[in-house]
Amino acid sequence: MSTVRKMTWSLVLGLAVVFGSSGTWAQEPSLENVKGEDEGKVIIIKQDGKEVKRVQIKEGKDDDEKIIVVVNSENGQEEEIIINTDDLDSDWGDLGESIGESIGELIGSIGEWIGESGRQLGRSFEGFGNTHMARSESGNTRAYKETQSAYSRGTIKIDNIAGKVTLTAWDKNEIEVTGKLGEDVTRLDFKVDGDTADIEVVVPNGRKRKIRSELVVFAPRHSNVDIETISASVTVIGFDEDSHKVDTTSGAILLENVSGELDLESVSGSVTVKNADDEVKAGSVSGAVKIEGNNLSQVDAHNVSGSITIKGTSEEIDANTVSGSIRIETGNAEEVKLESVAGSIIYEGGMDKNGELRADSLSGSIRINFDEPVEGEYDLQTFSGSIRCSYGPDIKSRGKGKNIRFDVNDGDASIRVETFSGSIVIE
């Protein structure tokens, strides 16, 4: 008797029930088939050397369907798990990737207590997910390639709703666009008008699933970059014009060796900047923000849920996070403002002789390691925590809930550090 179930994202839980028995499991790949000779490879699962289950992945009735057949070897009872993308707002590439990762992670973790073979089983399903993803992309996408003459100095704008954008600078007055367009994509509009280039993935109105498109673009090095996506990761490499802007609702952002002012926002995804050299504004609602660069005029980093890391010399630094740590490694900054609602703050570097540093944390410790003693006014406050400072009066024994003010050598710098619940250390 065959039991048939249709599953979407609950597939992981279903498989956990199928395989989540006690005892030590072992799985061996086999070329035998549950049904017929051409319906795919079987995973034979054994317990104490005895075959207990067979698992087979085979094609469904149409292109949007896969069937996982599980046979109980003891009584011959068969269960079919049907995965159907019609119930999902994603294509098979996304689904295959998610299935592979989710099942691999879940059964891999289950393997911690059911034995090494559990992890091997997880990897088997993960391999299915990755293979199926590659097949679906080749079947549900169409290739695109076009090259146009362009400006020597100008602006490039890219709009891709879902997928991936990789933009790289080169020393040609041309723009080359290659990639894969989703099956439901209407077209790709690519036009160059004077000193402006526009690249847009056009999708039809209404709910469409297969719009994931991957673009690889090469453009003149002296380009201002303006990229907007809804659900796509963005990578930009090697440009040196005045300003660049990247905005994505759900996706990671990476900029490397890009000169000029940077304005980067991700609602759900990390933001990473490498080798910046001007003003940087970067924020994420859920994801880490990492900025590296030298001779930066100003850094403004904000985060609602995630850490902030800034490395390199900068005149002004403004970093704030609602839930996450802040770590700064810099040179002689002139103005620094650090705020964390729930997280620690670490500052390592120097201060200009007329510099100003403000560090506040509602719930978290604050540690400041100066390259050399900073001369100026200090104002250190904590409601529930200790204060330790290598400068000024001996305050090591003053305990909790203190407000310490002192001056070092009548300097012009200003250092104010305050935490409601956490310690303060300045060295």
Instruction: Name the pLDDT band for 121 (thresholds 50, 70, 90).
Output: very low
Q: What is the rounded CA–CA span in Å between residue 228 and residue 223?
A: 16
Q: What is the rounded CA–CA span in Å between residue 369 and residue 125?
A: 49
Q: What is the pLDDT, as a whole number, of residue 200? A: 96
Is 13 strand, coil or helix? helix
Amino acid occupying residue 142: R
Q: What is the pLDDT, as a whole number, of residue 391? A: 77
Q: Would you say 211 and 191 are in contact if contact means Cβ atoms under 8 Å apart?
A: no
Q: What is the pLDDT, as a whole number, of residue 89? A: 40
380 has which bridge partners?
404, 417
336 has which bridge partners?
317, 357
Average confidence score pLDDT of the chain: 78
How much is the pTM? 0.67
Q: What is the rounded CA–CA span in Å between residue 239 and residue 222?
A: 6
Please provide the DSSP assignment of 241-286 as one string.
Answer: SSEEEEEESSS-EEEES--SEEEEEESSS-EEEEEE-S-EEEEESS
Is 162 strand, coil or helix? strand
Indicate the pairing of strand 174-182 with strand 141-149: antiparallel
Q: Is the pLDDT of residue 374 over 50?
A: yes
Q: What is the rounded CA–CA span in Å between residue 27 and residue 132?
A: 21
Instruction: Name the pLDDT band for 123 (thresholds 50, 70, 90).
Output: very low
Is 427 strand, coil or helix? coil
- 68-82, 178-192, 194-208: least confident range: 68-82
Give the start-to-end residue ranges of the domains of the chain.
Answer: 2-140, 150-269, 271-427
Q: Phi and psi (nearest 5°) for 24? A: -100, 120
Best mean pLDDT range from 128-137, 216-225, 287-296: 216-225
C-alpha count within 13 angstroms, C-beta hemisphere, residue 309:
10
Is 371 strand, coil or helix? coil
- 189-193, 223-227, 230-234, 401-405: least confident range: 401-405
Q: Would you say 169 and 128 are in contact if contact means Cβ atoms under 8 Å apart?
A: no
pLDDT tens-digit readout, 212-239: 999 999 999 999 999 999 889 999 999 9
Q: What is the rounded CA–CA span in Å between residue 86 and residue 321?
A: 40
Please provide the DSSP assignment of 385-409 as one string.
Answer: S-EEESSSS--TT--SSEEEEEEST
Q: Is the pLDDT of residue 106 over 50?
A: no
Q: Is the pLDDT of residue 262 over 50?
A: yes
Q: What is the pLDDT, as a whole number, of residue 77? A: 73
Q: What is the pLDDT, as a whole number, of residue 144? A: 94
* Alpha-carbon distance values, 293 to 10, 258, 317 (Å): 44, 10, 12
Q: What is the pLDDT, as a whole number, of residue 290? A: 97
Q: What is the pLDDT, as a whole number, of residue 394? A: 65
Instruction: Name the pLDDT band for 155 (thresholds 50, 70, 90).
Output: very high
Indicate the pairing of strand 78-84 with strand 289-293: unpaired
